[in-house]
């Protein structure tokens, strides 16, 4: 499982020109799955995302997590996180989990995450337009490979 985390001042996602999810102050995350991902990957990523100390404290030091600053999360499915570009110029997505299985994991991930924080989402598999104001900019890539 891979997650790209971006600290944002605001972010939104639209499908067919209609906003389906939006947040102020928090994290916009892109979420992708590969084969053998399971509940342990989801739990690991939730813990990592919620506990990343990437928000400033009163001294301007990145020492607080999204929960401590009262932020929220916009979660966007993103199978292209598993693009393989080693051969040629056209990415291969063979390492990305098939849509039906990835949908189940994505929904479960967001369900578990929303037990701890406010979560907005895009629509799995839809053509989405994502807007954000990256705060920092701060962008971090997380991967659960090797946690098992």
- Catalytic residues, which ones? 80
Nearest by Cα to 13 from 79, 78, 68: 78
CB atoms near residue 64 (< 10 Å): 16
Question: Can you tell me whether residue 134 is helix, strand or coil?
Answer: strand
> Which tokens is 18 given?
């209609």
Q: What is the dihedral of CA 117, 103, 45, 58, to 10 degrees?
A: -40
Separation between Cα atoms, residue 81 and residue 90, nearest integer Å: 14
């Amino acid at each position: 499982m891979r997650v790209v985390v971006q600290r944002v001042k605001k972010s939104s996602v639209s499908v067919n020109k209609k906003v389906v999810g939006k947040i102020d102050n928090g994290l916009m995350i892109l979420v992708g799955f590969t084969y053998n991902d399971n509940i342990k990957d989801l739990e690991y990523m939730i813990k990592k995302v919620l506990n990343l100390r990437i928000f400033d404290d009163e001294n301007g030091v990145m020492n607080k997590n999204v929960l401590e600053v009262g932020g929220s999360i916009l979660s966007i499915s993103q199978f292209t996180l598993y693009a393989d570009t080693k051969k040629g110029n056209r990415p291969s997505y063979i390492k990305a989990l098939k849509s039906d299985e990835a949908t189940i994991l994505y929904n479960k991930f967001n369900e578990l995450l929303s037990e701890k924080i406010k979560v907005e989402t895009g629509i799995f598999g839809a053509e989405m337009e994502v807007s954000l104001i990256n705060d920092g900019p701060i962008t971090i890539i997380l991967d659960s490979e090797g946690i098992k």
